[in-house]
Structure 1
């Protein structure tokens, strides 16, 4: 061994000085390689979603009776329901149609999956049965 090797308190003082004055934690820089690919993927996904959302069009407006018939039919046959809400988002974009299964009803509307939807919010509803759609 080397005779110059520090012992006891000299060693502790040198280690303490190293961590207080010389050592530089790379912190976030060390992890940027991991976050960059996830961040890039999320940005790409967001960009694609925005592009699709900007191309959305209003589907033909249906009467409340037609909407209720479609919702009830989808519920009875456990079929997918395609609907479009009659509200724009905060950027004044037309909402994309959503699909789901009608789970239950309540006085002012129904549950599409876990989301409560009032009858007044729906612009368009259609039952999707296999590849064909049932229209009223």
Structure 2
């Protein structure tokens, strides 16, 4: 089957090329499409995983609740260290933000969302 515009076109030759001669570079061909901000975000994430965070003094639930209440009442920011570990088994970075509300089981940190109180190991109130 040939086309009037392309009289030398032969679909069998094209199929033979793709079946036997063309080498697909796979994902390599897409690497040029990464945006610089995406690349820098990936680099930052890799650096964060490598950082080591020392465990802070373990606090009681009463002390954690008291510090969260103080921060909430005075509109202070808090730095919260959780029990959670990253994929390398190291403690994750502290969660920092303003306490916008809490109840018996969770606290809402404006910049980070809800955290369960029993996931928190240490709270530091950051006064201005």
Q: What is the deviation of 1:117? A: 1.7
Alignment-derived partner of residue 86 in structure 1: 83
C-alpha distance 70-38 of structure 1, shift in aligned 2 (>3 A): closer
Alignment-derived partner of residue 48 in structure 1: 47
Q: Secondary structure at the match of 2:88?
A: coil
**Pairing of 1:36-75 with structure 2 (within 5 A):** 40-52=39-51, 55-75=52-72
Q: Given the alignment of the two structures, is residue 125 of structure 1 paired with residue 119 of structure 2, yes or no? A: no
In structure 2, the gaps of 5 or more residues are none
CA distance in 2, matches of 1:127, 1:120: 18
**RMSD (CA atoms):** 3.4
Structure with the greater alpha carbon radius of gyration: 1
Alignment-derived partner of residue 105 in structure 1: 102
CA distance in 2, matches of 1:118, 1:27: 43
Q: Secondary structure at the match of 1:111?
A: strand
Alignment-derived partner of residue 10 in structure 1: 4
Give TM-score scaled by structure 1 length. Answer: 0.65
In structure 1, the gaps of 5 or more residues are 1-8, 131-136
Instruction: Spell out, residue by residue over 1:39-94, the C-alpha distance to the aligned partner (whole angstroms, 9 max, x if none).
Output: 65344323321222xx2100111222211111011111221111101233443212
Q: Secondary structure at the match of 2:66?
A: helix
